[in-house]
Amino acid sequence: MYNDSDTAAIDANLDLDTLKHQRKVEKSFVFFLIFLIIIFKGWFSFWFKYGIAIPNGKANSINITQDPIQINYSPEEKKQKTFVHNSFINKNKITIIPQAHYELSGTAVAFNRSFLFTYNFFDSAALYDLGTAWGKMGDKNFYKKHYKSYSQKNEVTGSRILWTQAKDYPPALPMEYSTSHYSHSHLVPANRNVMAALLKIRRWDRIKITGDLIDMQFKGQKYNTSMSRNDHDLGDRGNGSCETIYVKSVQIGKKVYK
């Protein structure tokens, strides 16, 4: 016998089951999204925001055999070039004090783009770490055969390190040569297109970074860049050959992004 009340109850139960299922799917999606954010350390949010890099032109092939070009600024030039940089990820306003014009050409051997935790003003400005090798170390096949490296940001302390290890004993190159022909650079993008270009860099790409070596200040705190490729002690300027670069242009292959 047909009963409207029974049918209504069945429909209500079906609607309730459907709603419960939708809520489970939504919760699962949220948990999955949180999982991806944790695993990829915030990279997805930056990809969606800065994922499209627009080339501004083309240039000649990158010469990976030459040393970085550095032209130090005078005290007067440093004062004239000092400016305030607005962080891309929070409201921090960081004072940038350029120290030298800088051009770095080589092969990308490691990179780090961990954006999940930003403990201090430095993290909010330097959004990318790049390990670069040049000279004999810049040869992709040579480097892959004789060395291995990776860039790491410690999520507890915030420290950033390029770990490099020779695969041979004795090493294929004297240590004095090898350690002076790769660097770990902390990069502050000048604009959103430069940030998007940095996200395009892959290991073994030939790249050229052009900009300024910079010191940074924020509310009484200060971070100094390295000014040399052979300062390796923690007591040195830049805490051991880590250059902090305000990046004005990025060249990947023959494409230039500004």
Give the model confidence (pLDDT) of 190-200 as tens digits. Answer: 999 999 999 99
Residue 17 belongs to a domain: yes
Residue 119 belongs to a domain: yes
Which residues are CB-neighbours of 10 under 8 A, at least 6 positions away?
none
Q: Does the structure show a pLDDT above 80 at 240?
A: no
Q: What is the mean pLDDT of residues 48-52?
A: 74
- 18 and 92, same domain (yes or no): no
Distance CA 209, CA 68 (A): 10
Domain span at residue 237? 57-257
- 172 and 233, same domain (yes or no): yes
The pLDDT of residue 131 is 94
- 119 and 239, same domain (yes or no): yes
Confidence of residue 2 (pLDDT cuts 50, 70, 90): very low
Q: What is the mean pLDDT of the chain?
A: 83
- 34 and 114, same domain (yes or no): no
- 156 and 225, same domain (yes or no): yes
Residue 47 belongs to a domain: no
- 108 and 34, same domain (yes or no): no
Residue 48 belongs to a domain: no
How are beta strands 221-223 and 128-133 bridged, if at all? unpaired
- 35 and 158, same domain (yes or no): no
The pLDDT of residue 117 is 59
Confidence of residue 75 (pLDDT cuts 50, 70, 90): very high
Burial classification of residue 62, based on how many CB atoms lie within 10 Å of its CB (0-12 exposed, 13-18 middle, 19 or more buried) = buried
| DSSP 8-state symbol, 37 | H
Number of domains the chain is built from: 2
Q: Does the structure show a pLDDT above 50 at 56?
A: yes
The pLDDT of residue 29 is 67
- 35 and 61, same domain (yes or no): no
Q: Does the structure show a pLDDT above 50 at 128?
A: yes
Residue 13 belongs to a domain: yes
Q: Tokens 């783009």: give the residue.
A: 113
Cis, peptide link before residue 55, omega less than 30° from 0? no
Confidence of residue 124 (pLDDT cuts 50, 70, 90): confident
Q: Does the structure show a pLDDT above 90 at 230?
A: no
Map residue 70 onto helix, strand or coil. Answer: strand
- 12 and 134, same domain (yes or no): no
Residue 51 belongs to a domain: no
- 119 and 25, same domain (yes or no): no
- 9 and 63, same domain (yes or no): no
8 Å CB contact between 167 and 146: yes
Where is pLDDT greater, at 201 or 6? 201
| Percentage of the chain exceeding pLDDT 90 | 54
- 22 and 100, same domain (yes or no): no
Residue 44 belongs to a domain: no
Residue 49 belongs to a domain: no
Q: Does the structure show a pLDDT above 80 at 178?
A: yes
